[in-house]
């Protein structure tokens, strides 16, 4: 197990290349199970979650080759049951349910369970599958789906905290091979859903409306192979945008899509930082006197919950009182206690964090609790005095490709240490 040592105080300057989106790549790789033909997926990030997904594809019977960010798969003959030993390592592995049900008319996958940021059940996924005609049984920790055939239906996927992204992905994949027309109401509109729909359409699916709250899928008899390049990761880009605001003189995010970052860019600008769209991405410049903010996380196109922890880190040393309200995952504040160990002044009132800016943070040993919390602690360490020791960095390796190397290339001083 590694830990990261962040030596605070170094200014950041230069270019950072944004990797492919983890949250696009995972369902797109799962979607290759829908066809017997070869598929080639490029701009795939080198992350532990991706490694687990490729292991699942292999265990299901697909051939998998990977080299230099490109994955080639062929799922000529596959099984319908995903093994627990791999599925348990990654919640997003549940996205193989849709492709397996669509192609095999059966899927057996272990329940992913909850996680540190709160319970994230798959009841909406199952609701969607049942609307398509599948029967579901939960037994011995597994979801068992089966159907003699799938038929199109009108399905609402709105949950308590808004639309479900993975649920939209899953139902959309299954519906591509259903008879008739499927309409998903209250669909997730995230760019990653659009990216998956674009790949499925390249495979011969007939999907319209991705990126809106209403997606229409006309079922087809079969899908064929396709090549596809994964979109840039908007959360990685947002994280480096915050790093550049906190510690940068001028940081350029190459391959960042400003449309996907609109809400994050607006928040950083509102806090007083200069953010510009440039030819190959986005540029951010630091500011000596940032302003406090009021933010509320919302489903896309609102401010993303996956950027809440990073914004907490940014606002810790912003003069005045900032307020962040978390409406998507109200329990997603495990990073707050660790930021307070570094000297932050944060009070939690239900699902709202009240942040009073302090003049300085000091390095301390801290514990990463989840993927985005770990990124927030690294960011806080960049501006803290002394050394911040971030433990359990396997969390950060799930979603950030070589974060230590990328930040060091900008001028940070970060060490990865084996323990």
Distance between CA atoms of residues 152 and 133, nearest Å: 8
Helix residue ranges, H only, 84-221:
84-87, 97-104, 123-131, 165-175, 191-202
Q: How far is CA 70 from CA 230, 278, 406, in A?
A: 10, 27, 20
Examine residue 271 and say whether the peptide bond preceding it is cis (omega within 30 degrees of 0).
Answer: no
Give the count of beta carbons closer than 10 Å to the beta carbon of residue 113: 12
Tokens found for residue 317:
């040393």
- How many Cβ atoms from other residues are within 10 Å of residue 208's Cβ? 12
Strands 2-7, 413-418: pairing kind: antiparallel
Distance between CA atoms of residues 364 and 292, nearest Å:
25
Query: Which residues lie across from 70 on neighbouring strands?
Result: 67
HSE value, Cβ hemisphere, 13 Å, CA-based, for 86: 20
Terminus-to-terminus CA distance in the chain, angstroms? 6
Residues 115, 263, 312, 316: which is the catalytic one? 115
Phi, psi at residue 245, to the nearest 5°?
-70, -40
312 is catalytic: no
Helix H or strand E segment including 227: strand 227-229
Contacts of residue 413, Cβ cutoff 8 Å, sequence gap at least 6: 6, 7, 10
What would the two tokens of residue 58 be?
């292999």
Do the beta carbons of residue 35 and residue 75 sit within 8 Å? yes
Residues marked active site are found at 115
């Amino acid at each position: 197990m590694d830990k990261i040592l962040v030596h605070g105080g170094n200014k950041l300057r230069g270019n950072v290349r944004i990797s492919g989106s983890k949250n696009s790549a995972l369902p797109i790789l799962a979607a290759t199970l829908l066809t017997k033909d070869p598929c080639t997926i490029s701009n795939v990030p080198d992350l532990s979650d991706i490694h687990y997904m490729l292991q699942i594809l292999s265990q299901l019977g697909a051939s998998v080759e990977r080299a230099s960010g490109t994955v080639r798969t062929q799922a000529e003959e596959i099984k319908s049951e995903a093994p627990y030993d791999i599925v348990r390592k990654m919640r997003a592995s549940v996205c193989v349910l849709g492709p397996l049900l669509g192609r095999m008319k059966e899927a057996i996958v272990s329940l992913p369970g909850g996680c540190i940021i709160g319970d994230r059940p798959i009841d909406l996924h199952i609701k969607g599958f049942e609307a398509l005609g599948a029967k579901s049984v939960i037994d011995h920790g597994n979801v068992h789906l089966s159907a003699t055939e799938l038929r199109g239906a009108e399905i609402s996927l709105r949950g308590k905290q808004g639309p479900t992204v993975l649920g939209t992905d899953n139902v959309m994949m299954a519906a591509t091979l259903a008879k008739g027309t499927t309409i998903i109401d209250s669909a997730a509109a995230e760019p990653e859903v659009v990216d998956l729909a674009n790949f499925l359409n390249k495979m011969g699916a007939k999907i319209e409306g991705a990126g809106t709250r209403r997606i229409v899928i006309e079922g087809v008899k079969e899908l064929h192979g396709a090549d596809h390049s994964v979109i840039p990761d908007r959360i990685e880009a947002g994280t480096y945008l915050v790093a550049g605001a906190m510690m940068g003189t001028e940081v350029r995010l190459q391959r960042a899509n400003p449309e996907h970052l609109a809400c994050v860019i607006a928040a950083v600008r509102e806090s007083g930082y200069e953010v510009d769209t440039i030819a190959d991405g986005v540029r951010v410049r630091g500011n000596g006197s940032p302003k406090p903010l009021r933010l509320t996380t919302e489903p896309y196109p609102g401010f993303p919950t996956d950027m809440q922890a990073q914004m907490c880190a940014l606002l810790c040393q912003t003069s005045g009182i900032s307020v962040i309200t978390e409406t998507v995952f109200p329990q997603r504040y495990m990073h707050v206690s660790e930021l307070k160990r570094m000297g932050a002044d944060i009070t939690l009132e239900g699902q709202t964090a009240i942040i009073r800016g302090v003049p300085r943070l000091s390095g301390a040993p801290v514990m990463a609790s989840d993927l985005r919390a770990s990124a927030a602690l690294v960011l806080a360490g960049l501006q803290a005095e002394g050394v911040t020791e971030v433990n359990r960095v396997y969390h950060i390796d799930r979603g950030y490709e070589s974060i230590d190397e990328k930040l060091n290339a900008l001028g940070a001083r970060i060490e990865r240490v084996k323990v």
